[in-house]
Amino acid sequence: MDLETLSIHPQDAHTLKINNGDTVRAFNHKGEVILKALLTDKIAPGVVSAPKGAWRDSSPTGQTVNALIDNQSKTDIGNGAAFYDTYVDVQAVVPKSG
Read off the CATH number of the domain in which 57 is found: 2.40.40.20
Q: How far apart are CA 87 and CA 61, in angstroms?
A: 19
Query: What pLDDT, on the 0 to 100 scale, is given for residue 58?
Result: 55
Each residue of 3-51: pLDDT tens digit?
Answer: 889 999 999 999 999 999 999 999 999 889 999 999 999 999 999 998 7
What is d(CA 37, CA 35) in angstroms, rounded to the nearest whole number?
6
In a domain, 77, yes or no: no
pLDDT of residue 3: 85
Q: Residue 97 falls within a domain, yes or no? A: no
Contact 12, 43 (CB under 8 A): no
Q: Tell me whether residue 79 is in a domain.
A: no
Report how far residue 64's alpha carbon sits from residue 47's, in angstroms, rounded to the nearest whole number: 18
How many whole angstroms separate alpha carbon 85 and alpha carbon 69?
7
Contact present, 13 and 39 (Cβ < 8 Å): yes
pTM higher than the cut 0.85: no
Number of domains within the chain: 1
What does pLDDT average to over the chain? 83
- Residue 81 domain-assigned (yes or no): no
Which residues constitute the domain of residue 59? 5-72+86-92
Give the Cα separation of 71 and 81 in Å (integer).
Answer: 7
